[in-house]
Amino acid sequence: MGSLRDRAAAPIPESNELEGMMGGALEAAVAEEPVTGALTLESTTLSEAQAQDAARDPDAMIAPVMPVELIQPLSAADIGADAAADPLAQAMAAKASWGVAGVGADISKMTGQGVTVAVLDTGIDAAHAAFAGVNIVGQDFTGSGSFADKHGHGTHCAGTIFGRDVDGVRIGVARGVTNAIVGKVLDDRGRGSTTAVLKALHWAGAQGANVVSMSLGFDFPAMQEQLQLGGRPQRLATSIALKAYRENLAMFDALLTFLMLENPASQGMVVVAASGNESMRQTDPNFVIDTSLPAASSRDIISVGAVSQAAGGLFDIANFSNTNPVLCAPGVGIVSAKPGGGLVSMNGTSMACPHVAGLAALWWQWLPANMGRASGSGVRARITANARPGSFTPRTTLADRGSGVATAPAP
């Protein structure tokens, strides 16, 4: 198995801390041995001379540690939602969070049975009733000492993917998933590092994850600010941060290529990521931001935008949702599990992302029965091809919605 040396990484890195030494001939390893091959991923501290030597090594990739942050959910006031609306009360009355029906999971015969799903987030409240009967394998990559969720984001996302009904309310898209992998890559403040995310991705692949869900983003401004606080002029800080951004983009792309490789010994993997919440359409329709990293780091990642409910059974792009996602899913007024028990409503592309991860599990189950074999590429193709492009309000553009609203296999 490829080695993985785990050393605690500072949330905000020093300039000479470098991560992700990918040892061996990377292309040969990818071609010959998926997940259990010669690729190694480790973090270490290098001198300037060592970093330069490593950069010249054709069989290695290096990238400075960058801060990563949670894609924070937004309040109803932040998104201009109807103050009188109560998503939790509506879900309890309907016996389901609206997103479940919004993606067609309520009428699909698929449940996600036999599919292993990984959630890379703030951890999980494994004792929550929503996860009864789910075998959860967890690991902490933040130095917290536990993969327990004290933030709430990871528990909410996991509930949307594979949560069981809570107090008679359906919250999970893929309620038949019984094997889950949870990597705590963000601490209780929602902060982490690229080191943690890369290691967790590598680990999830080694654990046999078919689907990976992550709602987080590279924090370029935080790195630039820290460099300036360390005495570097603004232009130099920007240049260093941009270089780190590019190198981490290349690192993620290389690791994902490795994990998604398909051959007789590997079915590949589906990675789903939130597009980001930085757009401000409520201020000006032109105030939109493109999909953030790591969602945009690979063409094979399914980046997800967020939609809300509109009149006439239509969907409307959420004002905060970043543009050019692969597709979109419900992300406003989403009810799911809350740490400590019960349910809570949240808004964001972070809430849309787990809907699609759950759908990926449904399509992964559907493929063997209908096409003979499941694979990551097959699932990505099915989800994209079956997205609904014609169910939107007139203001929603192609750049807003991508292929459309992701949809479950038909009954």
**Catalytically annotated residues:** 121, 153, 350
Question: Is the C-alpha dihedral spanning 133, 135, 139, 145 positive or negative?
Answer: positive
Indicate the helix (H) or strand (E) that contains 315.
strand 315-317
Which residues, at least 6 apart from 128, have a Cβ–Cβ distance to it below 8 Å?
155, 159, 163, 166, 337, 338, 339, 340, 341
Closest C-alpha to 99, from 363, 355, 275, 325: 355
Alpha carbon distance 374, 381 (integer Å): 11
The Cα–Cα gap between 361 and 153 comes to: 20
Tokens of 290: 């493109």
Name the pairing type of β-strands 211-214 and 116-121. Answer: parallel
- Other beta carbons within 10 Å of 371: 11
The kind and range of the H/E element at 19 are strand 17-19
CB-CB contact of 246 with 95 (8 Å): no
With H, G, I as helix, E, B as strand and everything else as coil, classify residue 100. helix
Q: What are phi and psi of 407, to 5 degrees?
A: -140, 145
Listed in sequence order, the residues at least 6 apart from 140 whose beta carbon sits closer than 8 Å to its beta carbon are: 123, 146, 147, 184
Tell me the C-alpha distance between 290 and 58, whole Å. 32
Write phi, then psi, for 379 (nearest 5 degrees).
-65, -45
Q: Which two tokens stand for residue 137?
A: 């394998």
Q: What whole-number distance in Å separates Cα of residue 203 and Cα of residue 198?
A: 9
How far apart (Å, rounded) are the C-alpha atoms in residues 247 and 14? 16
d(CA 133, CA 178): 7
